Amino acid sequence: MTKFRTKLIIALITLIIFVLVGIGLLLGQLFKSYFLESLNDHLKIVILWSTSIGLGIVLIIIILLGLRITSRYTKPIVEATNVAIELTKGNYRARTKVDKLDETGMLGSAINRLAQNLQELVKTQEMQQDRLKVLIENMGAGLVFIDSRGYISLINKGFIDIFQVSPTDYLYKLYYEVIEQPEISDLIAEVFRTEKKVNKQILIPLFIERKYFVVYGVPIIGTNNVWKGVLLVFHDITELKKLEQVRKDFVANVSHELKTPVTSIKGFSETLLDGAMHNKETLEAFLSIILKESDRLQTLIQDLLDLSKMEQQGFQLAIQELNLHTLLEEVITLLNGKAQAKNIRLELYSKQQHVLVKGDVDRLKQVFINLIANAITYTPPEGEVKVVLLDHGKNVRVHVKDSGVGIKKEEIPRIFERFYRVDRARSRNSGGTGLGLAIVKHLIEAHHGQISVRSELGEGSEFIIELKK
């Protein structure tokens, strides 16, 4: 544009010079014919010079005026053109200066409006793209898009995390060349073949685990029935499957636990009815077995009811201020007989008589009865069970320490599972249900407390309960 401006100026100056020279020549001729003939030489020179200087001044004034006019009209056009060039380069922030309301001003403001509209359009588009990207990346499921020729054109973070792959190994590659799991490739092929949605549960071995996925395969068909490709969405349902397995195991365990005493009660009653009841000693022995088995059944049903109550939503504790020292003393009094029967020394150690905490008296009693009864059960005769109450200011700790059989390190995380027993026979003989520690853990968590275990096989175990004051 500057070239155009220079040319315009040159043309204008040339035109002015021609006009002025023409006027000069014309005036000169007139001057000469009317006046110069009669004047002397000196006067002629003076007149000639003053005319030339006058003409020069007029020329300069006209040039300056020309420059002003051209700059007034060409400058805004040049600026508007520059903004248009910037817009084509993608710089939508470029604006031109508009300070007049004439045609050039209108051109400038139109260019500015165009730039602003473009800027807003691009901003909206960027925002939508960002939103879509965030959504795809964080949708909590794996996503793959395969184009109509079978090339993978998109994988999201979920997919990368599930399969631990690098995008460069997958993107723009043929799906059947990079996807290692035949179940997935088959599913994609099925969508391509049938052009219908496919929804399948797939078990995929991944590293050291086996994971369950629900995979949705959707054909993407654009306008005019044009094939765009296949979209695959992977939902990890391993946790749900595990829960389902836990539920199945639980039902199997409960049935088994119930079946044993019932079979025993039925067997002994039948034997008695078949004639054994006429022998007084047998009758007494069998009836006491039946009573023991009925007790076991009752405890088991009670524990199951307790557990299910605790797992209900809205399970609430009757929280009140209580003296933990008194509560432990009561539990120990209750279990003294059981300890004495095995000649086990059961003692409470505490520096303070008043250790106040907020909790549910009955539920906390249940916790410590379970822990102390276990300590007595899994400690051989002549052993020792210590209950230590320590006040740590913000929280309180109760240590239930025994000199019993101990637990192997690898078994420790499992003892809180329902029905898990290290020694099935020993637990059963002592009337255990295998649910005690599961209940303890639930109750402590409901109190926002913590439970931990230290144990050494053959040396003894220590269960530590931490409660907030």
Residues in the site for ligand ADP, rule: CB under 6 A?
Answer: 370, 374-375, 378, 402, 404-405, 407, 415, 420-423, 427, 432-438, 461
**Which element (helix H / strand E) includes 131?**
helix 103-137
Sheet holding 152-155, edge to edge: 152-155, 142-147, 227-236, 209-221, 198-206
Closest approach, Cβ 260 to ligand ADP, in A, equals 13
Cα dist. 202→10, 61, 86 in Å? 81, 91, 54
Nearer to ligand ADP, 367 or 415 (CB): 415
Tokens encoding 321: 């201020």
Nearer to ligand ADP, 236 or 293 (CB): 293
Closest approach, Cβ 457 to ligand ADP, in A, equals 9
Collapsing DSSP states into helix, strand and coil, what is residue 348?
strand
Tokens 């076991």 sit at which residue? 296
Nearer to ligand ADP, 133 or 309 (CB): 309
Nearer to ligand ADP, 252 or 283 (CB): 252
Closest approach, Cβ 416 to ligand ADP, in A, equals 7
Nearer to ligand ADP, 152 or 385 (CB): 385
CA–CA dist 26, 20 (Å, integer):
10
- 171-179: long-range contacts (C-beta < 8 A, 24 or more apart)? 174/150, 175/144, 175/146, 175/150, 175/151, 176/150, 178/152
Task: Write the DSSP assignment of 418-452 as a string of letters.
Answer: TT--SSHHHHHHTT--S-HHHHHHHHHHHTT-EEE
Closest approach, Cβ 431 to ligand ADP, in A, equals 8
Collapsing DSSP states into helix, strand and coil, what is residue 464?
strand
Chain position whose Cβ is nearest to ligand ADP: 432
Sheet holding 345-350, edge to edge: 345-350, 384-391, 395-402, 460-468, 450-456
Nearer to ligand ADP, 36 or 446 (CB): 446
Closest approach, Cβ 438 to ligand ADP, in A, equals 6
Task: Please name every residue paired with 211 in a beta bridge, in sequence order, or none if there are none.
Answer: 204
Nearer to ligand ADP, 418 or 447 (CB): 418
Closest approach, Cβ 128 to ligand ADP, in A, equals 56
* CA of residue 96 relative to chain centroid, distance: 46
Closest approach, Cβ 441 to ligand ADP, in A, equals 9
Closest approach, Cβ 383 to ligand ADP, in A, equals 11
Tokens 């909790």 sit at which residue? 359
Nearer to ligand ADP, 190 or 423 (CB): 423
Nearer to ligand ADP, 261 or 432 (CB): 432
Closest approach, Cβ 443 to ligand ADP, in A, equals 13
CA–CA dist 265, 280 (Å, integer):
18
